[in-house]
Structure 1
């Protein structure tokens, strides 16, 4: 029975019969309403709690395929990167303070003699926000695997490779940018890309025969003259704001590196004919364009190359060097120049050029890249018996095929499946791991990132392998730069590990 029907007005009976009934029904329906509201609230808060638990599980299970931490799925209201970062800095500062205060005495592991004598390999001694390397799954950028980055980060076109600007945004903020944010960042980088004349003159003071990495480091050091951090520090800026001029230096440095690097390439290999920046192109495509390559496939490969070479956690030589040199408050230019000098070593960044040289030596030996498995096996055994290593194989952390190798292979299968050099690289991958495994001394017999990149660059016409490490250096700035900003934002101290003499180590072991 409806309330309207129950309380129809009757002037003769209302005051005698329905007054008490009206009060009773009103009380009953009021109690019912309170109960309904309570049930709705309970369901709402249970839903929020369940969603919170789901977010937590997603954050804890970032190692599962197709999973992305909740932080990365948040949308941002900011179009410019600086505003986004300024909002994040206080949150991260509080996290560091809490870790120091509540967990400062927690032990992270034991240090062994092998670690001390083995280049500190495996020691947990460094905070690096941008990426981490899992022995089985490879590199993860802010928790995201390379396939996840390829799927979720904006490209130059739908389904395209991730734009380096998108990787930069991700590494600095931990969030996936949208296309508008990436386009805004690309425009900002182009606006910062003007190179002072004296930087070119500093490079020109070197002989053209100088190694491209020597010229590159010289150019970076020349750019240091305009360091905003140095100016701010000399002006007495408060340490809580160190990250702000560091941001300016880092963004200027990242923006200017392609033009400096392209100038070196054109100076050394193309008679000094310079190609200007194109304001319609993104970061990776512009770099390829200034080098002299406008094939759309080459532009796309350059986007992929820069993205996958950008970061590889903080323990590798170039990344750790930048962090170390920046720790006494050296500005980003000084720190990155030092990183480039580490990258120039044969066991680090020069490995990519060593691979292509080795592959070319195989072709020179047999007169063609189309050789049999037996011929290739004999040549590999000859390489190993001469005391050399097979370049492009093995890794300090990984125990599987490097996913950076895999994504380049997939790119080659899509764009150049019939290239004889690519087919040779594929055959090498079949032959080398069993041979290295049989030796019993190699922890990882699988190909790394360097085993593939040279062949792709060679295919698109960038054949000067001495230059390949410069490409690596431009890419690495996108990983090193964000960490330098966070080092200043989080107040990371002067790095000063303890060393021991060999005699002291022997005494400790004797005890």
Structure 2
């Protein structure tokens, strides 16, 4: 098949690109000279303070005798410890994600009446405009569901009679609608792609209003609409853990930046989706799963810790997997001793692995989680501790739930839309200045050439 003009890199483009490379590089020493906080983080990895938030808090250290001392990681939603929030959910069935979304949006835990009101609104808005699936999702389906999701979100602007109204009631209405339809946009986009590109049967199941978000995701994804209570519970917990993570993560900060310009909700959320798509952010759990697939082929005895350690050393030495020199799922920009979300994920991964007959694989994950920090500590100079992060377990959990890899990051988005919505509303309520950080120009002034 002939290459499309829209994807062809001509020799002329290659020549022009070489000019970009030659003239675009900045001397790394200049970043030190001007004390540039690259990545908005200082040399110790601490984030530069750019705003205030009342929505969530990440704790990775404590102050002892005036010094920052690393501690077990903690995550708080509106002041509540995430571990307490998860623990408060019923063991058999819960609207954990819905409770979490309510808490993030409105600042307080819902009463039963308030939860019923909120879930009824989610059910009311959990529908797409007439012919939206046919006219938008089925047309030119993309192999990347995040692009499909972003395109669908931007298109929703055209179906909104008040898309540019940024009053709190209207933005809240838009956000609740997006929280409700993100699972539909994600799963339907995947179904369209696998049908038109892979030749699979096409089925578009309708959600049921009485089901939770996690139950509806599993229902509309599977051909038989079936799922077990444990499957729904574990996915519900995963959505809770991914719903929010402070104002400084890349996609949430993007939400603040774009919202500060006064633009519409759909543009702000589409920008956040573009951020989350990046493999350094939302796509990390896919790398973990693929790394473990390679590990399972290379390591013959999953219980042999010496053999596992040798493989991990090969990863760091760029001799295994993608030869990037990384052990994926290890380390975090903020946490050092532990990621609280990973600790919760670990517990639920164990129970699900037993139901799915994958306890041996769970054992391998646990050994890697214990051995990798030691290997990294011996091979690399690090300024803070290293531990398993939430991506280390989420990919494994999603694989046990038979979620296709194409939906891993969109499922992340189905959770994080709750946090993005809360932060967008917070930015609008506090009506700050447009966010505009400084960049220092380092090119010397030149005289324009004369003939």
> Which range, TM-score by smaller chain?
0.7 to 0.9
What is the TM-score normalised by the length of structure 2?
A: 0.79
List per-residue Cα deviations over 1:140-198 (Å, max 9, x = no partner): 1112222111234xx4x457566111111111222121233222211110101121245
Corresponding residue for 1:486?
426
Corresponding residue for 2:123?
190
Corresponding residue for 2:23?
none
What is the distance in 2 between the residues matched to 1:441 and 1:314?
29
Corresponding residue for 1:99?
none
Paired positions, count:
380
What is the distance in 1 between the residues matched to 2:292 and 2:394?
12
What is the distance in 1 between the residues matched to 2:32 and 2:49?
12
Alignment CA distance shift 1:467-1:415 (3 Å): closer
Unaligned runs of 5+ in 2: 1-30, 42-46, 61-70, 195-199, 319-323, 445-451
List per-residue Cα deviations over 1:17-46 (Å, max 9, x = no partner): xxxxxxxxxxxxxxxxxxxxxxxxxxxxxx
More helix by share: 1
Match of 1:459 among 369, 385, 400: 400
Corresponding residue for 2:38?
118
List per-residue Cα deviations over 1:111-168 (Å, max 9, x = no partner): 997973421121111223211111133321112222111234xx4x457566111111
Compute the displacement of 1:371 (Å). 4.4
Q: Counterparts of 1:250-289 in structure 2 under 5 Å? A: 250-269=175-194, 271-289=201-219
Corresponding residue for 2:378?
438
Instruction: For residue 232 of structure 1, give the secondary structure of its aligned residue in structure 2.
Output: coil
Unaligned runs of 5+ in 1: 1-110, 234-241, 505-511
List per-residue Cα deviations over 1:434-472 (Å, max 9, x = no partner): 01112342323101000001111112222x223200111
What is the distance in 1 between the residues matched to 2:158 and 2:232?
32
List per-residue Cα deviations over 1:216-254 (Å, max 9, x = no partner): 111111112234653536xxxxxxxx2121111111111
Match of 1:174 among 95, 107, 131: 107
1:341 aligns with 2:274: yes
What is the TM-score normalised by the length of structure 1?
A: 0.70
What is the distance in 2 between the residues matched to 1:145 and 1:115?
35
Corresponding residue for 2:259?
326
Alignment CA distance shift 1:437-1:276 (3 Å): same
Instruction: For residue 479 of structure 1, give the secondary structure of its aligned residue in structure 2.
Output: helix
When the two chains are superposed, the root-mean-square deviation of aligned CA atoms in Å is: 2.3
What is the distance in 2 between the residues matched to 1:414 and 1:179?
29
Corresponding residue for 1:204?
138
Instruction: For residue 76 of structure 2, give the secondary structure of its aligned residue in structure 1.
Output: strand
Compute the displacement of 1:284 (Å). 2.2
List per-residue Cα deviations over 1:37-74 (Å, max 9, x = no partner): xxxxxxxxxxxxxxxxxxxxxxxxxxxxxxxxxxxxxx
What is the distance in 2 between the residues matched to 1:448 and 1:187?
34
What is the distance in 2 between the residues matched to 1:435 and 1:143?
36
What is the distance in 2 between the residues matched to 1:273 and 1:189?
23
1:298 aligns with 2:234: no
Instruction: For residue 399 of structure 1, give the secondary structure of its aligned residue in structure 2.
Output: coil
1:422 aligns with 2:397: no
Match of 2:304 among 372, 389, 397: 372
Q: Counterparts of 1:2-401 in structure 2 under 5 Å? A: 116-121=36-41, 122-135=47-60, 136=71, 137-152=73-88, 155=89, 157=90, 163-197=96-130, 199-200=132-133, 201-207=135-141, 210-227=143-160, 229-232=162-165, 242-269=167-194, 271-292=201-222, 293-366=226-299, 370-386=302-318, 387-401=324-338
